[in-house]
Structure 1
C-alpha cells in the first residue's frame, strides 16, 4: 500500500510540476506575438489488479496526456481575413492620398487661372511686348506645373511598385518558412510542447502572409497546411515545398503576378491594395494626360489659325502630348498669333486672341482639372470610411481571438497557486507514504 501511495504521489507531483512549467511559460510569453495560451490535459493512470488485489483496477496516479493550445481555427481565420482586407484598404488609401497631394500641391489650377487672366490682359493691348511676355511666362509656368504633377504621379507609382516588389520577396520568404514548418511538424510528437510551438509559428506566418496577399488554407490532421494565393487560386505551399511568387510584368504601371508561371491576382493584403491604388493612378494619369494634350491641341489649333506680330502664320504654342512632356514652343512674345489670318504685321486686331480665349472657355481645362481633383478626393473620402469600418472589424476579430487564445495574467496567477498547492499536497502524500513504510519496518523488528 505504501509503495502504491508513493508512486501515486510521485505521479501527482510530476503532473503538478508540468502544470507549473506550462503556467510559467504562459506568463513569460504573455506579450509574445502569435503565442497561444497552453494548458495541460491530465489523465488517470490505471493498471489491472494483481494477485491479492481487491477489484479489477489498481489506481496508479496521473500523467500528462497532452499540451493543448487554446486556439480557435475559426477565429484565427477571421483575423487573417479581416487583417488582409484592412491591409488592402490601408495601401489603397495611402496611394489615393498621395495622388490627391500631388494634384493639390502642383498648383496646376492656379496656373490655369493665371494663364487665362494673362490672355485677358493682353486683349487690352495686343501689341504690348510686356503683356505678350507675361502670357508666355504664365504658359511656361502652367506647363511646368503639369510636369510637376506628372512627376508626382510617377513618384507615387514608383513607390507603390517598389513596395510591391519588396512584399513579393517577403511573401516568398514566408512561404519557404511555412514549408519548413510543415516538414518539422511531421517530426514533432502529438501533444508535445514542440508541436505547440510549431503551430504557433505556422499561424503567425499565415497571418503575415494574409497581410501581403489573399490566401486560402487547407489544414491536414497532422497540423501541416497547404496554401493557395490570389484569384484564381494558385498553389503556393504544398507540404515541404514552396513555389515562387513573382511580378510577371506591368500593364500601364499595374503589376501582374504569377506563381511558377501561373497567372493570379491578389485581392487582399498589401499587394491587393497596391494593385487597386495603381489602377486608380493609371486612370487618373490618363485623365491628366488627356487634359494636358487637349489643352495643348486647342491652343495650337487657334494659334496656327492666326498671324503673329510679324505678320507670319502662327506656329504651334505647345509641344508634347502628355502632362509630363508639355512644353512651350514659342520663344518670344512676338510669336503669339493674336490677329486673324490675313492681317498685316503689327496689327492690333485681337480677333484670334479672342478665339483663343473662347477656346479656353469651351474646352474649360480649369473645370476638367477641378473635376479630376474632386473625383480623387471623393475616392479618398469614401475609402477613408471603408478603411475605418474595416479597422473596427479587424480589431473586433483580434480582440475575440486574444480573449480566447491570449494569456490572462490573473488566471495564470490563480493557476500558480492551485498547482503549487497540488505539488505540495503530492509532496505531503509522499511523506505520508514514507512514514507508513518506516512504521511497518519498525513493527517487523
Structure 2
C-alpha cells in the first residue's frame, strides 16, 4: 500500500510539474503572435493482473497523455483570407499614390494653368514683346513638366516590378520551408511538444504566404498542409514534401502575369495581386497622360497654323512630339506666336486666333477633348480611385482585425487563466508531495510495530 501511494504521488507530482512548465511556456509566449496556447492532457495509469481465478487492479496514478494545442482551422483560414485582401489593397493603393505624387509633383496641371494665364495676359496687348516672351517661357515650362512625370512613373513601375519579383522569390522560399515542415510532421510523434511547435511553424508560414498571394489550404490527418494558390481549384503549390514554384512574366507594357507549372494562373489577393492591379492601372494612366500631351501639341499647332504672326505669315508649330515622353517646345521666339486670324495684315492687334487657341486648350466638346480637360479628368479619376480604394481598405482592415481578434481569443494566451493555472498546478504539486509524505509515514509506522 505505501509503495502504491509513493508511485501515485510521484506520478502526480511529475504531471503537475509538467503542467506548470507548460503554463510557464504559455506565459513566456503571451506576446508571440505565432504561438498557440497549449495544455497537457492527462490519463489515468491502471494496471490489472491476476493469479488463477483471482484478479486485481493496481492504481498507478497519472501520466502525460499528450500535448493539446488550441487550434481552429476555420479561424486560421479566415485570418489568412482577410489579411490577403488587406495586403492586396495596401499594395494597390501604394502604387496609385506613387503615380499621383509623380503627376502632382511634376506640376503639369499648374503649368498648364499658368500657360493659359499668360495667353490671357497677351490678349491685353498682343504685340507686346515681353508678354510674348512670357508665353514662350510658360510653354517651355509646360513642355518640360511632362518629362519628370514620365520618369517618376517609370521609376514607380520598375519599383513595383522589382518588388513583385522579390515577393515571388520569397513566396517560393516559404513554399520550400512549408514542404520541409510537412516532412518533419510526418516524422514526429502525435501529441508531443515538437509536433505543437511544428504546427506553429506551419501556420506562421501559411500566414506569410497568404500575405504575398492568396492561398487555400487543406490539412491531412497528420496536420500536413496542401497549398493551392487562388482558390480550391487553383494550381497546387505545396503537397507533402513536393513544391511547384510560382513564376512571373513582365509584358512589354509593364503589366504582370503569373505561371505555375508553365500554366497561367490568376492571383486575386495578396500583395502580388495589388501590385499587378496597380501596374495595370498605370498603363491606363500613362495612356491618358500621353493623350493630354498629344492633345496639347495638336490644338496649339493647329491654332498656330490657322493664324498669322505680326509679320503676317502663318505661325510655326508651338510644340513638337507625339506624347508625354517626347513633347518639347518648338517655338524659338515670341514673335512667332500667331495671334491674328488668317487674312489680317502685318502687326495686326486682332486676337481672334489667340482666343481660338485659348478656347481649344480648355475645350470640353467633345467631352475631354482639350488638354486641360484631359489632365483634369486624369487627376480626378486617379484621386477618385484612391479615395474609393481607401474606403475599401478600411473596411477590409476592420474585417482582418476582427478575424485576428477571434483567432486570438480561441488560440491566444490569456494571462488571467494562466495565473489561475499556476496556482492550481502548484497546489496539485504540493498535494502529490503530501501523498508521498503520508506513504512514508505509514511505511515508517509499520516498521516500528513490534
TM class, shorter-length = over 0.9
Q: Which residue of 2 aligns with 1:336?
A: 337
3-state SS of 2:221 partner: coil
Structure 1 residues 350-389: aligned runs within 5 Å: 350-362=351-363, 363-389=369-395
Q: Deviations over 1:408-435 (max 9, x none)?
A: 1111111111111111211221222223
Distance 1:352 1:259, change over 3 A: same
Displacement of 1:344 in angstroms is 6.1
Distance between the aligned counterparts of 2:402 and 2:250, measured in 1? 37
TM-score by length of 1: 0.93
3-state SS of 1:284 partner: helix
Distance between the aligned counterparts of 2:157 and 2:210, measured in 1? 23
Q: Which residue of 2 aligns with 1:242?
A: 243
Are 2:426 and 1:425 equivalent residues in the alignment? no
Q: Which residue of 1 aligns with 2:48?
A: 48
Distance between the aligned counterparts of 2:355 and 2:436, measured in 1? 110
Structure 1 residues 46-445: aligned runs within 5 Å: 46-51=46-51, 57-230=57-230, 233-250=234-251, 252-341=253-342, 346-362=347-363, 363-443=369-449
Q: Deviations over 1:177-222 (max 9, x none)?
A: 1111111111111000000000001001111111111111111111
Distance between the aligned counterparts of 1:112 and 1:292, measured in 2? 11
Q: Deviations over 1:139-159 (max 9, x none)?
A: 111112222332332233233
Name the stretch that deviates more: 127-136 or 335-344.
335-344
Distance between the aligned counterparts of 1:283 and 1:332, measured in 2? 36
Displacement of 1:268 in angstroms is 0.9
Distance between the aligned counterparts of 2:418 and 2:355, measured in 1? 84
Q: Which residue of 1 aligns with 2:22?
A: 22
Distance between the aligned counterparts of 2:70 and 2:89, measured in 1? 30
Name the stretch that deviates more: 182-191 or 352-361.
352-361
Displacement of 1:313 in angstroms is 4.1
What stretches of structure 1 of length at least 5 have no aligned partner?
Answer: none
Q: Deviations over 1:306-332 (max 9, x none)?
A: 444455543322122222322111222
The alignment of Structure 1 onto Structure 2 pairs a total of residues equal to 444
Name the stretch that deviates more: 151-160 or 181-190.
151-160
Distance between the aligned counterparts of 2:190 and 2:107, measured in 1? 66
Distance between the aligned counterparts of 2:289 and 2:174, measured in 1? 39
3-state SS of 1:322 partner: coil
Name the stretch that deviates more: 322-331 or 389-398.
322-331
Distance between the aligned counterparts of 2:242 and 2:415, measured in 1? 39
3-state SS of 2:182 partner: helix
3-state SS of 2:32 partner: coil
CA RMSD of aligned residues (A): 2.3
Distance between the aligned counterparts of 2:358 and 2:415, measured in 1? 75
What stretches of structure 2 of length at least 5 have no aligned partner?
Answer: 364-368
3-state SS of 1:211 partner: helix
Distance between the aligned counterparts of 2:182 and 2:227, measured in 1? 11
Displacement of 1:334 in angstroms is 2.5
TM-score by length of 2: 0.92
Give the conservation status (yes or no) of the 8 Å contact 2:362–2:373. no
Name the stretch that deviates more: 39-48 or 114-123.
114-123
Distance between the aligned counterparts of 2:171 and 2:206, measured in 1? 10
Distance between the aligned counterparts of 1:51 and 1:44, measured in 2? 24
3-state SS of 1:50 partner: strand
Name the stretch that deviates more: 76-85 or 156-165.
156-165
Distance 1:388 1:54, change over 3 A: farther
Give the conservation status (yes or no) of the 8 Å contact 2:255–2:279. yes
Q: Which residue of 1 aligns with 2:366?
A: none
Distance between the aligned counterparts of 1:65 and 1:19, measured in 2? 12
Q: Deviations over 1:362-409 (max 9, x none)?
A: 343223222221222222221121111111111111111111111111
Distance 1:142 1:43, change over 3 A: same
Name the stretch that deviates more: 381-390 or 186-195.
381-390
